[in-house]
Amino acid sequence: MIKVSPSVLAADFANLGSEAKRAEEAGADLLHLDVMDGVFVPNISFGAKIIQSIRGYTHLPFDVHLMITDPARYIDDFVKAGADLITIHYESCDDQISVLKQIRSAGVKASISIKPATPAFILEPLLDYVDMVLVMTVEPGFGGQSFIPDTLESIRTVSAMVKSRGLNIDIEVDGGITAETIRPAYDAGANVFVAGTSVFRADDASAAIAALRSACV
C-alpha cells in the first residue's frame, strides 16, 4: 500500500491550518513540510513556529523535510513543533550518522535525502540509522517542477540496497509526482509519494489522491 504525503509548499499559505485539514479529509497519509533556509537551497519557506501553528489542525503525521545547512542545530525545535519524521540531506552536513541518531534519540523517525546528482550508493552505510530514504526527483528548492526520469535509477539502487539487507525502510520520492509519473517511481521501488501541486492545486484533492493510488494498482 502506497502512502501519499501532500506538500504544503503548494498550499494556500494564508490558510495553512485549513489546508492541512483539507489534506487529511482528502485521504492523505502524511503531511509533507518543506523547510528551506535560502542557503542550502535558493528559496526560503518557513520554520518550526509555522509547523507548530498548524499542528493542532490535523492528526496526520508530520513529514518534515529539512533543506537547511547545519540541521543538527534545529532538530529539537522541529521535534517540539510536532514533527513525527525528520529528513535531513546527505549533502547538508558532514556527520550524517550523528544527526540521524540525534533525531531518533528525540523520539521521532529519521530519514536521509539525496539530490538528483548525488549517487544513491553513498547511502548504504547510513541505512541502519534511518526509517526512510527520500530520493529527490527534482532539484530541491521550488515546487511545481517536472519529474527527472534519470532519478529512477537512484530509486532502484536504494530499493536494491534495502532489500539486500532485509530492512524495513520506506522509500519516498519528492518532485513532479502526478498520476502520470507516479507509476514508474512505484515500479522502481518507491512507496511514499510527495505530491504538492497535483493535490493542493487540484479542483478535487480527494480525487487527485485517489488517482495517485489507482495509478499504482
The average confidence (pLDDT) of the chain is: 96
Residues recognised as catalytic:
34, 174
Its domain, for residue 176, covers 3-214
CA atoms within 13 A on the CB side of 85: 25
Q: What is the CATH number of the domain that holds 123?
A: 3.20.20.70
Summarize pLDDT for 120-141 with one digit per residue, the tens. 999 999 999 999 999 999 998 7
Grid cell listed for 8: 504544503
% pLDDT > 70, the chain: 99
Is residue 192 classed as helix, strand or coil in its secondary structure? Answer: strand
pLDDT of residue 166: 97
pLDDT of residue 145: 77
Count of domains observed in the chain:
1
- What phi, psi does 75 have (nearest 5°)? -55, -50
Residue 78 to residue 127: CA distance in whole angstroms: 22
- What phi, psi does 133 have (nearest 5°)? -115, 130
pLDDT of residue 21: 98
pLDDT of residue 141: 75
